[in-house]
Structure 1
């Protein structure tokens, strides 16, 4: 336990020293308006350089993650098929798929999956 504490302290000291040295010797010290703005031939930019984030894209990504996690939950059911009775693991998988399908149906009815609206 003592060696873990000592190694943690040493790594913390080295990390803090590197942060201090990098802030002291960094080239960029002051952000002025000219360097922070996008370059457009010397003129002021017409609009912001960053595009707004699409909430629709975020929701589609969340749906993809849900179905990706669903696959990782359903794959071990095949491994447990030898140790459990088939009725138990089939009913468990069917209930899980039914819940995910009901969630997808709810999102479809709420028009969450429509890209243009």
Structure 2
């Protein structure tokens, strides 16, 4: 039984040895010149503007969280579509409830202004 996994162990060992060997070879063979340009942050080929510890607007994080939530919704919808025929009416009702909750969540997010990129003038 254990001998069945021996080829997998050999292949994994060879892959790790090759990866480690190439990293070590790049350190041994690579140039040792430290230039100030290589230590700078890269910003589209232009000199960096501002400090590296600049704070981001919370709007970026809110948009990212909303994207992740609705991205997971798409995964659930795809899985539901794959087994739709086996679930029958019960599965359709469950998915309808799930989608209604997500529609209400979208309306709530929209009402709170998370989807508005530019702030409204007051």
The ranges of structure 1 where at least 4 consecutive aligned residues each deviate by more than 6 angstroms after the TM superposition are 49-52
Change (3 A) 1:77 1:5: closer
Measure, in 1, the Cα distance between the counterparts of 2:48 and 2:64: 31
Normalising by structure 2, report the TM-score. Answer: 0.61
Is 2:15 the counterpart of 1:11? yes
The answer to which structure, 1 or 2, has the higher relative contact order (CA under 8 A, 6+ apart) is 1
For structure 1, the 5+ residue unaligned runs are: 39-44
Normalising by structure 1, report the TM-score. Answer: 0.63
Measure, in 1, the Cα distance between the counterparts of 2:64 and 2:107: 17
**Which string of whole-angstrom CA distances, capped at 9 and with x for unpartnered residues, describes residues 23-69 of structure 1?**
11113x3433344348xxxxxx5834979766534533443443343
Q: What's the CA shift for 1:19?
A: 0.8
Is 2:6 the counterpart of 1:2? yes
RMSD of Structure 2 on Structure 1 (CA): 3.3
For structure 2, the 5+ residue unaligned runs are: 42-46
Measure, in 2, the Cα distance between the counterparts of 1:107 and 1:115: 13
Aligned residue pairs, count: 109
